[in-house]
Amino acid sequence: MVTQIMPRNFLQRQKIMRKVLISLIPVILGGVYFFGLRLLLLLVVVTVAGIATEYLFARKRKAKVTEAVLVSSVLFTLSLPVSTPFWAAALGISFGIFFGKEVFGGFGHNVFNPAIVGRTFLLISFPGHLTAAWTRIFTTFPGGFIHYIAPPLDALTQATPLALFQTGETLPLSKVIVGNVFGSMGETSVILLLLGGIILLAGKAADWRLMLSPMLGFVGLTSVLKLAGVGGIPHPLYGLFTGGFFFLCIYFVTEPVTAPKTIPAKWLYGILIGVITVIIRYFGIFAEGASFALLIMNIFVPLLDDAVKSLQALRKKEAAA
C-alpha cells in the first residue's frame, strides 16, 4: 500500500479513508480486467501529482498530507477513460486538489469534492479525452491482467451505453450490470460497485441514506417523465446504471466532508442530486449530468444543515411553549 511505502510522519492517518481504499480494491481489479494494466500506471501518475499538490500547501501550514488525497486520486483515476493522456490526468487531479480543497484551507474545510472538481475541469477543458477516446474491453480471462491497454474503438462504434441511447440504441441491462461495456474505468460494473458499497457500509465508512437518496431522486423523476410520455427517457434502471451515476452515488455523494451532517438534509441533498442529474442529462447539452449535479448541491450543504437545525430548534421552542 502507498501508506506503507511513505515515511510514517508524512501522512495524516485517517481510518475511514483506509476503509474507502479497501472498498475500492474490487473496482480497481475490475478496471484492470476490463481495460488493461495502463489503469495502474495512470493511477500512479495521478497519485503522485495529487500528493505533490497537497504537499505544497500542507508544508506551508506545517501539516501532514492527508490520506484523503489517496482516495481522491483513486476515485479521480477511475472516473477517466483508460486512454486518458498522463499529462491530462496529472493536470486534472492537481486542479481538483487545489481548487476543490486547498483554496478552502485543506481537508475538512473544502466545499467541493476534489475528484469531481478535477474531472469536471477536464470534461469542460479537454472534452475529447473524456467523451470520445474510448477503448474496447477485454471479456475473457485473464483479460487486461496480461495486456497494457485494450484496442481503441473505431469511429462508428465509439459511444458509451448512455450515448448509444441518445442515438436510439440500448445495450442489454445484463451487460451493463456485469460490466461488459465500455466507458470510464470505474463505472462499468454495477456488481463491483455494489460490492464496494457493501464494504463501505459494513465498515461504517459511508451513510446508506446518502447512497440511496440520489437513486430515489433519479429513478423517481425518470419514472414520472417516462410515464408522462416524454421522449428520450430510458428505462429508469438503464439510466441509473449508465453514465457514471451509480459510481457517483456509492463513492462521491457519500464523501463525509462535503455531505450534510443532519439526517433530513442528507435525504434532501441526495434526492436533489438525482433530480438535477436527470434534468441536465436529458434536457441539457451534457450526456452525464451527475458531476454537475453534485457540485451544484455541494454549494447548498451548509444552507441545508442550517435550515434543518433552525426548524428543529423552532419545533422544540413550540413544543416547550
Q: What is the mean pLDDT of the chain?
A: 87
Classify residue 82: in a domain, yes or no: yes
d(CA 280, CA 123): 15
Q: What is the pLDDT of residue 213?
A: 97
Distance of CA 213 to the CA centre of its chain: 15
Containing H/E element for 82? none
Q: What is the pLDDT of residue 1?
A: 45
Mean pLDDT across 241-269: 92
Classify residue 321: in a domain, yes or no: no
What's the domain range around 50? 2-311
Per the structure, how many domains does the chain have? 1
Q: Where are the beta strands (DSSP E) in the chain?
A: 11-12, 65-66
Classify residue 70: in a domain, yes or no: yes
- pLDDT greater than 70 at residue 93: yes
Contact 243, 284 (CB under 8 A): no
Q: What is the pLDDT of residue 284?
A: 82
Q: By mean pLDDT, which of 11-25, 93-107, 115-129, 282-296 is the weakest?
A: 282-296
How does residue 143 score in pLDDT terms, banded at 50, 70 and 90?
A: confident
156 CB neighbour count, 10 Å cutoff: 6
Classify residue 96: in a domain, yes or no: yes
Classify residue 175: in a domain, yes or no: yes
Taken in order 57, 207, 293, 155, is the CA torsion positive or negative?
positive
**What is the value of pTM for the model shown?**
0.89
Classify residue 320: in a domain, yes or no: no
Long-range (24+ apart) CB contacts under 8 A made by 197-203 are 197/23, 197/250, 199/19, 199/22, 199/23, 199/26, 200/19, 200/20, 200/23, 200/250, 200/251, 200/254, 203/19, 203/22, 203/23
Q: What percent of the chain shows pLDDT beyond 90?
A: 59
Position with higher pLDDT, 139 vs 250: 250
d(CA 28, CA 35): 10
Q: What is the pLDDT of residue 187?
A: 83
d(CA 40, CA 262): 37
Write the pLDDT tens digit of every residue in 173-186: 666 676 656 678 88
Classify residue 317: in a domain, yes or no: no
Classify residue 191: in a domain, yes or no: yes
- pLDDT greater than 50 at residue 223: yes
